[in-house]
Structure 1
Amino acid sequence: MMKIKYIVLSIVVLAIISDSCVSRRKITYLQRSGKADESIISSPGLLTSVTPAEYKIMPNDYLFIRVITPDPQWSALFNMQTGEAGVTQESAALSSYPVGLDGSIEIPYVGKVPVAGKNLSEIKNDLETVFKNYVSDAAITVRLVDNNVSIIGEVNVPGRYPISKDRMTIFEALAMAGDISTYSDRQRIQLIRPSPHGPVVNEFSLADRSVLHSEYYYVMPNDVIYALPMRGRTFHLNTAVYTIFLTTISTALVIISYFRTL
């Protein structure tokens, strides 16, 4: 009986140890991967040479457009009302132009303007050319309204977060979500990126320094970052239950053994 008790206790101890131990290599970002990696890190200015791809407008996007002219009447004619409190994300959404399935927006008194497949700078230049037919010296502001990134999976605070700067790295995005959890597989991060032909799923590793100069280093509007769990995550979730169960059995065996010795 005592032998059984010690076996059960050993199993409990091993279960607790296995639950608390996660390899340091599995939770470390940006590890060296060899000589190629050393040349990447030793090259000065390499990170600044990484140019993120500019987001191209697609159907179902929403654009906030403001036209400012010397004549307030012309400005009021072309601008949707946003209220006296200024332009917030909510008011911009209410006063934005939806991009239709044909890839264009429709502006009152102007008509349809094609925007799909263009970045914000190109759209601004096109609109300045269009508005010259109506008023001179027009200043145009163009902004993407739905400029967010969604972060799901094994992160501490999953959710939808605004991209508050022109160049936001994937590490900055994950920081908004409270970082990846201990049981996330840093070698298997999925990024779901919209394209004109549908969502594209890319998988890469944050444990490798080569991500610093990859196309996934900078997030883009409407990206979805999915942190996959480690393969042993289900076992870790159930270890507490197993531990309680085995501890109960062990305690029962100790009590039975005690009364048998009386």
Structure 2
Amino acid sequence: MKHLQEISTAFFFLVFVFLLIFFSSCKTNSKVVYLQDIQSNIAIALQEVKEITLKPGDKLNIVVYSRDQELVKMFNLISMSEGNNSRENSYYTVNKEGQIDMPILGLISVEGLTRLEVADLIKYRLLAGKLLRDPTVTVEYANMYYYVMGEVGNPGKHEIEHDQITLLEALSEAGDLTIQGRRDNILVLRTVNGEQTPYRVDITQTEKLYGSPAFYLQQNDLIYVEPNTMRVNQSQLNANTLRTPGFWFSTTSFVLSLILLLTR
């Protein structure tokens, strides 16, 4: 009888531990929802839109158009593809002084400017120097990327295809966070002038997300999504199986079977 009481005590202890693990998991799952405090039909104050601006090392595809086809050739970088007659635009690279070097126009300071501002500046220089009467200038980014690591569906390098991109858009393009990713402590590393600044963003809280300096990304930003507690525990399965629900299910089943055999 005493032996049976000890087994019963052990069984209730196992049930208690299992329930503790279960409710702990429920608490973790409550942190998966984005923008938990957002309210319907209430406008959200947004910060000023921050477009991508140029930094040293960026590459630009710049093309000048005009009705004078022969004259406009002087302002475009053209390279011939081997084996055929097709032509491809080459890229201008922003140097460490924040300048690009264009034919005829020479050095142009572009650091800190947006894509459209660069196009307007080149057009102004062409008109002011009376080099072309009817110039049209297009500027496209050639190598704008951000990087995502950690608990997302598609980590790696992702191209920036628009003049601005938000953290939510970037995470969406990276396949969204996995269920094991922490929503309340996303790390964004940003390098400016040789210094790296870390930003921590909580995307479960509206004000913290929309007010963060990292809400609008810049080129070469690195996003790291940390694993939550459940994911960390899962990674320790081989080291400590006592922390897994499966272990407690198996143990509980064994104890129940033992009690049934002893009470027959």
TM-score (structure 2 length as normaliser) = 0.74
Q: Which moved more, 1:9-18 or 1:49-58?
A: 9-18
- Per-residue deviation, 1:218: 2.9
Residue 114 of structure 1: aligned partner? 109
Q: What's 1:158 paired with?
A: 155
Unaligned runs of 5+ in 1: 255-262
Cα deviation, 1:68-120, whole Å, max 9, x if unaligned, reads 11111222222122669999xxx66xx11111111111112332111112222
How far did 1:231 drift?
4.3
Structure number with higher relative contact order (C-alpha < 8 Å, ≥ 6 residues apart) = 1
Q: How does 1:38-187 map to 2 (within 5 A)?
A: 42-43=42-43, 46=44, 50-81=47-78, 95-132=90-127, 133=129, 134-187=131-184
Secondary structure of residue in 2 paired with 1:234: helix
Whether the aligned pair in 1 keeps the contact of 2:18 and 2:248 (CA below 8 Å) is: no
CA contact (8 A) 1:58 1:196 kept: no
- 1:28 and 2:43 are equivalent in the alignment: no
User: C-alpha distance in 1, partners of 2:78/2:71?
Assistant: 13
SS in 2 for 1:194: strand
Measure, in 1, the Cα distance between the counterparts of 2:196 and 2:205: 25
Counterpart residue number, 1:203: 200
- RMSD, aligned α-carbons: 3.9
Q: Which amino acid aligns with 1:28?
A: V
Q: Is the 8 A contact 1:66 1:142 kept in 2?
A: yes
Q: Structure 2 CA distance, aligned partners of 1:79 and 1:176?
A: 33
In structure 2, the CA distance between the partners of 1:7 and 1:226, relative to structure 1 (3 Å rule), is same
Q: Which runs of 4+ in 1 moved over 4 A?
A: 4-22, 82-87, 243-254
Write out per-residue CA displacement over residues 13-57 of structure 1, whole angstroms, 9 at most, x where no aligned residue. 67985896563321111011xxxx76x9723xx46x543212221
Residues 236-251 of structure 1 aligned to structure 2 (within 5 Å): 236-239=234-237, 242=241
Structure 2 match to 1:260: none
Q: Is the 8 A contact 1:5 1:250 kept in 2?
A: no
| Paired amino acid for 2:33 | T
- Equivalent pair of 1:193/1:200 in contact (CA under 8 Å): yes
**What whole-Å deviation, never above 9, does each CA across 1:191-236 have from its counterpart, x for those lacking one?**
1223235332111100101123544333333222211222453212
Contact preservation (8 Å) 2:144, 2:219: yes
Larger C-alpha radius of gyration, 1 or 2? 2
Mapped to 2, the partners of 1:209 and 1:233 lie a distance apart of: 25
TM-score (norm 1): 0.74
**Cα distance change, pair 178–214 in 1 and its aligned pair in 2 (3 A):** same
Mean CA deviation greater in 199-208 or 49-58: 49-58
Q: Give structure 2 stretches of 5+ with no counterpart.
A: 257-264
Write 1 or 2 for the structure with the bigger share of helix: 1
Q: Percent identity?
A: 24
TM-superposed CA distance for 1:64, in Å, is: 1.2
* Residue type of the alignment partner of 1:57: L
Contact 2:52 2:164 in 1 (8 A): no
CA distance in structure 2 between the aligned counterparts of 1:12 and 1:234, rounded to whole angstroms: 19
Contact 2:58/2:144 (8 A) holds in 1: no
Residue 261 (structure 2) aligns with? none
